[in-house]
Structure formats: C-alpha cells, structure tokens
Amino acid sequence: MSTTSRARSGLTSAQAARRLAGEGPNTLPEGRRTPAGVLLIREMVHFFALLLWAAAGLALLAGMPQLALAIAVVVVLNGAFAFVQEYRADKAGRRLRELIPADAKVVRDGRRTVVNAADLVTGDLVLLEAGDRISADLELAETHELAVNESMLTGESVPRRPREKATVFAGTFVVEGEAAAVVTATGPRTRLAAVAALTRSATRPPSSLARRLGRVVKVIAVIALGVGVLFFGLSLLLGMAPSAGFLFAIGVTVALVPEGLLPTVTLSLARAAQQMAGQKALVRHLEAVETLGATTFICTDKTGTLTRNEMTVVQVWTPRGALDLADPASAAEIMRSAVLSSTGRLVRANGRWKPVGDPMEVALHALALRAGSSEDGTITRRLPFDPVRRRSSVIVDGVLHLKGAPDAVLPLCAAAPGAEQALEDMSRRGLRVLAVARRAAPVVSATQTTAQTATDVERDLTLLGLVGLEDPPREDVAEAIGRCRLAGIKLAMITGDHPGTARAIAEKVGLLGPEELVITGAELPGDDEALGALLDHDGAVIARVTPEDKLRVARALRGRGHVVAMTGDGVNDGPALREADIGVAMGASGTDVAREAADLVLLDDHFATIVTAVELGRATYANIRRFLTYHLTDNVAELTPFAVWALSGGTIPLALTVLQVLALDIGTDLLPALALGAEPSNPRIMRGPARTGSLVDRRLIRRVFGVLGPAEAAVEMAGFVAVLMLGGWTLGAEPSPALLAAASGTAFAAVVLGQLANAFACRSETRPMGRRWWAGNPLLLWAVAVEAVLLVVFLGVPPLSGLLGGSFPPPAGWALAALAVPAVVGADALHKAIQGRKRGRTGHRPARPARGAAAPSPPGQAER
C-alpha cells in the first residue's frame, strides 16, 4: 500500500466493537435445518426399510401380528440408530469446519492487524492480497493489479479486474494483486447470503466409499430376496401351509440383509475424522478418510511442511562482498528495497511483536528494523508477486525496487561479478535465496506507470545483492519420511525454490532418493506418460515448479495408478489439489483458495500430520473390513438352519425362528460391530503397502463362508440336533414344543457365543488371538459383556423367550453351545496359519529393514 494508504487509520477498536454489537457477527445465517423428526422418518423409508415394511404388512395380512410387530421394531430401531449416527457425524462435521482459519487483514487504530472474519464491520479498512478469501462486500479504495475470481457467484471462470470504487463480494477470491477496500455489507446483508439461501438445499452426491458399500448391500439384499422367494417355493413343494412358508421365506430374507452395516460405517468414518482433527488434520469431506488410507504417493511442499517456516536472514551478499550482520546497519540499503517490495510486516501491538503476512517477508522486515532502513516515500504502483514472474516490485518516488527468485532477477540486471558463485554457495547450504535489485533512474512519471506492463517496468536493473534466509527442517520430519517408506508410500518434493536449496533440504530430512533425481519444472517432459515414468520413483525433487507443473505431476502419477496426495498453499494450487486424489492444504499459512479446494487441511502445516492422517485412514479401512466379516459370519449362521430344513425335506425342524434371527441382528450383534469399527490403529498398520481393492474380496469371502461361518453353523446345528435326540426325538418326528424350545435356545446360544469369539477373531486378518486378546479395545470388552447379558435375557426371561421361540438350554445344551467358542477360535487360528505358510512359500517375505527400523509386514498386510 502507499504511504497515504498506510496513514489511513481505519476504524478504532472502540468503533469496531460498537458496530459489531449493533450489526452482529459477519456470518451467514444458518439455513433452516430439516427437523429431526423428518430426518428420522427418512431413515424409515429407504430401500431396505421399505422391504422390511412390506414384509411386516404381509405378515400382518397372513395373521402373524407378532412377526409384523417384530419386523416393525427392527425398522424403527435400525432407523433410529442410523439417524443418531448421521446426526452425530453432521454435528462433528460442523464443529470441525469451525476449526478452519477465517481471518482478515485490517487497519485498526492506525495499525495493520489480523482479526477474525466474523468480527468485520461496515467501515473497516481491509487489506487484500493474492490468495485471500473476501469475507464481506467491499468497496475498493486502492488497487494494484487486482484480479478477483467471482466464479462462486457468477460461474465465470475468467477473473475480473475491478478498479477503484468498484465493489467486490464476499465469498470471492483474490487471485492476483493487492488492494485496500472498505467494508460496505456484512453477514446476512451480503450478496453471498442471498446466493447461499438458494443453495442450502443442495446435497453432496454419495462418495465412492458409500457407493461401494451401497453396491455390496444391494447385492446382498437382491440375493436375500431371491433366496427367500426360492425357499418359499420349496416350502410349498414340501407341503407346508402358505402362511408357514411365508414365515420361512421372511426368515431367510431377514437373515441375509445386513441392516446395521451402513450406520456402522458412518460411525467409523466420523470417529476417524474426529481423531484426525485431534491430530491437527481437518477432514473437509468424510469420505476422504478412507481415500487417505489408500495413498501411495505424497507430493509435498518444502517451506512450512518439511521446514518450520520460521525464517531468519543469516547471510547478505552484495557486489562489494558479504556483509557482517553483527552490524545490521551495513544492510540498510539492500533491506530498504527488499522491504518496500514486500507486504509482510513485524507489527508491535499490546507491547508485543506480531508477524503479519508471509514469514519470509516478515524476516526481511525484522532485519530492516534492526538496520534502520527507511520506508518513506510515495508508492505510485505495486507489481505483486506472481508464480510466472517469480518476483515483486514497487515504484516509490519514481524509483523501482524489486526482489524475487535469483534466476528471475539476475537476467534483468547489469553484470555483477561473483553473484552466481554466491548464489551457488548459499543454495548448497540449504538457504532460501532472494535477489534484490533497483532501477535508480526515474522509471516514468506517475501518470504513465499504470499503462505499462511489468516487462516494461522491470528492466535495466542494478543488483543490490542476495539475501539468504534459513528455514530449518522440522525435528520429526525425518522420522515421518521413514514411516512413509516403511508403508510403501513414495515421496516427491515439489517446490518453487532453487534446485540447490531444495536438494540440500531433501538431503537433510532424508527425502532424496537413491537416484538423486533433482529436476526443475522447465526440464520436465512435455508428455504426461513420460513425466509419470520419470517421477514414479521414491525421493524425486522438483524445483522451480509452476502451478501448471503441479497439476501435470498429479495427473501423470494418477495415470500410473497411484493414489496421490498433493500439498499446496498458493492461490494457484487449487487445480492441482482438485486433480489429486487427496488435496492437502495448509491451515496456518495457506491461502483460502487452497483450503477451499482441499480434502484435508493441516492445521499445523506439518508433514508428519499427513502421515498420521494416512495411518488413521488405513485403520478405518481395516475396521470396515473387520465389521463386514463379523456381520457376514453371523448371516451364515442365521441362514444355515433354513438351508438344513430345506435340504432335509423338512425332517429336521427349524433351529432358529425368524424372531430369534431378528434378536441376533438388532440385539446381540450391534454393539460388537460398533466396537470393531472403533478398533485402535495396529502398530503394524504402516508396514507394507495399503490394500486398495474391493472391501469384499475373495479372501474375506473365503474366510467368512469357508471358515468362520461354517465353524459357527456346525456347532449351532450339532447342538440343536443333539439336544433334540437327548430328549428322545428321531429324524422326521415332530418334537414337543418344550423340547424344540430348549433345542432352539441351544442353537441361539451357540450363535451368540460363536459371535462373541468371532468379535475377537475379527480384530486381525492374519494374527490368531494371543494371550493379550482382550487388550487394546475396551469398547469391545463392554460390547461382548452386554452381548452375554442379552443372551441370558433373551433365553431366560419368560415373556421374551416365549415370544422369540426359545428357552433356557439344559446343561448339556449349554456345554454344546459353549463349544462354539473353541470351534471359532480354532478354525480361525488354523486358517491364519495355513495362509501364513502360503505367503511364505510364495515369497511374500518382508525385506530386511534398515538398522534400527522395525521389520515391515508382507505386502498387503498393512491394515492388520
């Protein structure tokens, strides 16, 4: 801003406080939320609920009111549960969205400061620069090459270039230049508020994860209906009355429909998102949790992500030689030009110094203050930094002051002996280097400057010198990089910095790969296929990149099958963040544009936070497979009695009633499934590549239908038949009601006890239950304890047991039912041992780790 602009005091703090009290906060009014009752009803009329309502209606017409009531209870309880979980996830999402920084730079009490955007009031003087989200309707008082993206309001993708006195609107973004503007409308009085009122009813389309799960459940539902119809026909062929045959078909259908699956998934994702927020990683879209776990390639920035973004000027070189910064006054001349061409400042407020703006420019200002550099003069034009020119300049009293990347500045300067060698020496040390120059003769008159382009003005320069800034690596970045490599995740550094500086930092943190590939954006192949082949190696360093280069890199790597996470913080990084599978924006230092385009916002700008989020994403994927296995195993045990009845031609009675099947689905199974969805991350989760295939693959199907399900069903049917025979029953005879109830209670107990063991077996796909099988997930202990209590209630409380159709088993029945526990545990252990030997024979052995590192798991075992 010009000297006159800086002299504007804006509002005083007292004026702003009074106006805020009168106008209210600068926030959009929340849309009228759908009443909770309406949301609950919606959960009662989805695809599966309608199927069950139809079954309840048919049961009522067939003269079976108890069955109709039981099915209605299933629908209501399941709908209520889904509603609670969706409501909790939505509430958690609203809390998480509040964590996204929303600040505005203003002038108050004559000083530049940063306030929460909600505290803006009419009359505030707001300072805008590239990357800022405009937080209120503003009238422009002064502009410098300003361009505003208004696509959010107008749909026009070409940025508008408004002039002074024009209005810019809340919700739009500054994509180029700078401006000072006065607030004219806030909150509900903005143009954005009117648009928001029209869009509140819009809903996000289902995520890829939701679609995949929806396909799984729909396939199961179609199979359930088909099998139910088939068994209804079989029952009629066997001479069963239509009402009894219908009851039988309903039991088969209900046994196969996993009613509680989708709510369990929602809870698992919401819980993971909350955990990530606790680790400073804000997930903006819930489905991104699962995608994070599948990440195979991370493209990371350098400044602020791998480094601390705490810059300090440690070296200044001039054509006269290196300056001694112990005498900061010697740098007064070069620092004046550096600071005049910057906007970042170190501001004193309330007795403390506060950085405002770019950390690099704040570091320059800090040295300029120590050096006593003057900032006097009248600014007639400012040419802000952009990623194409890679420099910024300002005309003060007719003299051009400029700073920027050395390779973008040195070609514009007269020869300066020693500059190239000084640049090489600084870059080798890992310093971030800026070139500072000046055009001493008057550039043009003040009335002509705005008519000239940057190329016309930024020429015939005199190099004042090079400034080297140190930004040390974060302490735990090296460890996080090691965890990525242990997890089979490839890395690349993508930076706009000098290749020498980028290489030095990559070596310090251990990112540079064995190929030592260091390349600039200008050297990248023009063909995307060749680009992907070049970069598909671990530890590449790409320097001097443009936003277009980042977009091409993301596209090329995705074209080679990678799941790409791309970091970005600039106004022009939006396309690359959207192109990547996971766009990662900086919450502390990034622009609003980048944060809006991202799926994940790092509230601490830390690379290690990305790795933590990937770990939680992998854990979530593993948990989904855990409770899928648990649910489907129970479906096998529920279906088996009906299959045995059909295959025996009705000579073996039904071991479970339809109401018992419903009691298993909504009573005993629900809490253990939820607890498996909250299983903590396994220490081995980041060893080996992530599994990215289908949720229900051949291995899960083989384990459910070939191992766990048959083991549970075998004990169930053996106990049922044994109790019948001990009571004097013979094949084909009709057992007494009391004997049938006791045998059915035995079968029911066997399924519940088998599921109790199955809950612990599902904690790992590869490791059998050890001595500490009970440790690590206290929620599961509580869940199985409740499951055991419900078993006693369902069989031992006469009104309920009579309704369900079972009774307390005799001692022999309990002993037989208890065999389900060792049967499931033994079958699971044997299966895992066989699979382990198969993996050993096929050569899937972990590579020997580096000294001091933990041994990685075989490929594909990361989630166990």
Distance, in Å, from the CA atom of 97 to the CA atom of 99, rounded to the nearest integer, reads: 5
For 771, other C-beta atoms within 10 Å of its C-beta total 6
Residue linked to tokens 């509580």: 782
Distance, in Å, from the CA atom of 139 to the CA atom of 170, rounded to the nearest integer, reads: 11
Sign of the CA dihedral with 657 first, then 663, 666, and 669 last: negative
Distance, in Å, from the CA atom of 74 to the CA atom of 76, rounded to the nearest integer, reads: 6
Smallest Cα–Cα separation from 246: which of 658, 805, 803? 658
Cβ contacts of 563 within 8 Å, gap of 6 or more: 291, 294, 295, 296, 297, 581, 582, 692
For 792, other C-beta atoms within 10 Å of its C-beta total 12
Phi, psi of 552 (to 5 degrees): -65, -40
Catalytic residue among 137, 301, 497, 569: 301
Residue linked to tokens 């050569």: 843
Distances (CA, A) of 741 to 67, 378, 737, 813: 17, 96, 6, 12
Say if CB 402 and CB 437 are below 8 A apart. yes
Distance, in Å, from the CA atom of 228 to the CA atom of 240, rounded to the nearest integer, reads: 15
Cβ contacts of 590 within 8 Å, gap of 6 or more: 131, 568, 569, 570, 601, 605
Distances (CA, A) of 757 to 399, 746, 767, 769, 827: 80, 17, 14, 10, 11
To 10 degrees, what angle do helices 709-726 and 737-761 make? Answer: 160
Q: Is 407 a catalytic residue?
A: no
Distance, in Å, from the CA atom of 746 to the CA atom of 598, rounded to the nearest integer, reads: 54
Distance, in Å, from the CA atom of 789 to the CA atom of 395, rounded to the nearest integer, reads: 80
Distance, in Å, from the CA atom of 641 to the CA atom of 26, rounded to the nearest integer, reads: 63
Distances (CA, A) of 144 to 128, 167, 339, 774: 10, 15, 17, 65
Phi, psi of 527 (to 5 degrees): -90, 130
Sign of the CA dihedral with 116 first, then 118, 121, and 123 last: positive
Strands (DSSP E) found in 327-445: 345-349, 352-356, 379-383, 391-396, 399-404, 432-439
Sign of the CA dihedral with 780 first, then 786, 792, and 793 last: negative
Torsion of CA 221, 225, 231, 237, to 10 degrees: -170
The distance of Cα 851 from the centroid of its chain, to the nearest Å, equals 33
> How does strand 582-586 pair with strand 600-602?
parallel
State the alpha helices, DSSP H only, in 648-684: 658-663, 670-677
Rg (CA), the chain: 34
Cβ contacts of 734 within 8 Å, gap of 6 or more: none
Give the DSSP per-residue string, 595-635: HHH-SEEETT--HHHHHHHHHHHHHHHHHHHHHHHHHHHHH
To 10 degrees, what angle do helices 47-61 and 208-237 make? Answer: 20
Phi, psi of 365 (to 5 degrees): -65, -35
Distance, in Å, from the CA atom of 720 to the CA atom of 750, rounded to the nearest integer, reads: 9
Partners of 298 in beta bridges:
491, 565
Catalytic residue numbers? 301
